[in-house]
Amino acid sequence: MNTEAVGWLRSRDYGTVCPVCGYDLGVPAWDGPISSGRACPSCGITFGRDDTFGRGDSGASIICYLQWRAGWIDRHMPWHDMGAPAPAGWDPVVQLRHVRENFGASYSAWLASLPPPQTPEHMPYWRSRAAQRLAELGRPPVAIEALWDGDTTGWFVSLYAIIAHPSVQHPRYTEAGLINLRGPGGDIRIFNGDVPPWPEARMASEIGQSLAWEHTVPFYFHSQSEPDDQAPRWWDETE
């Protein structure tokens, strides 16, 4: 968490700047308890509608702004207003400095620094990320395991190294996360008939098998063909 950014939000001294993305709205988002009712053309938040807690509950509105910002950054900071184009030379990374967020020198530099998408052609990059994380553990794995999980944005596959060390999950083993793999397109693919097969499951299998082979340990993926967050674990099968 960026404590400077949170501190700035807590100060409530936003001036005419959008508390989510730093765009200069020209008017304050809120005037005391009265919202401007405006939509920010940059990030799309509508004051008085999307920040329902307004200024009444300071903690809740700060969380709301931070979540809205995180979602906008996840989508790579698109200009929101379809009816009015972004100002010439608009740079959302420079703009975010107004809300005390530093993503580097410029938007183009930030984009260039992002990891590649989790698609098969970028498998070598994601394999090396997982291998690096495994090396950082400093302990040899006894197994590599892939496991489905889900959150509000959909299904994903987590790749774990299993280490011989007690944990809250198992008296003898610990799972250490190596990488999460999300296929592009989200769960809408289920309805479009694009999955199965799930490309993220295939990537998890290939990377997992390769790491397992390198360490001469088993690779375990109980439900490769379809999402299942209740699948048995490797350690259930080895009892």
Options 9, 43, 201, 212; binder of Zn ion; rule CB under 5 A: 43
Evaluate whether 9 touches 21 at the Cβ level (below 8 Å).
no
Options 17, 18, 144, 146; binder of Zn ion; rule CB under 5 A: 18
Stretch binding Zn ion (CB under 5 A), from 17-25, 145-153, 179-187, 210-218: 17-25
To Zn ion, the closest distance from the beta carbon of 38 in angstroms equals 10
What angle in degrees, to the nearest 10, is found between the helix axes of 199-214 and 123-137? 50
Options 17, 21, 29, 203; binder of Zn ion; rule CB under 5 A: 21
Instruction: Using DSSP, state whether 75 is helix, strand or coil.
Output: coil
How far is residue 186 from each of residues 76, 93, 128, 154, 231, measured CA to CA in Å?
16, 26, 24, 6, 21
Cα of 194 vs its chain's centroid, Å: 22
Stretch binding Zn ion (CB under 5 A), from 41-49, 141-149, 157-165, 211-219: 41-49
Rounded Cα–Cα distance for residues 25 and 107 (Å): 20
Stretch binding Zn ion (CB under 5 A), from 13-21, 59-67, 87-95, 225-233: 13-21
Residue 41 or 227: which CB sits closer to Zn ion?
Answer: 41
Q: Which positions lie near Zn ion, rule CB under 5 A? A: 18, 20-21, 23, 40, 42-43
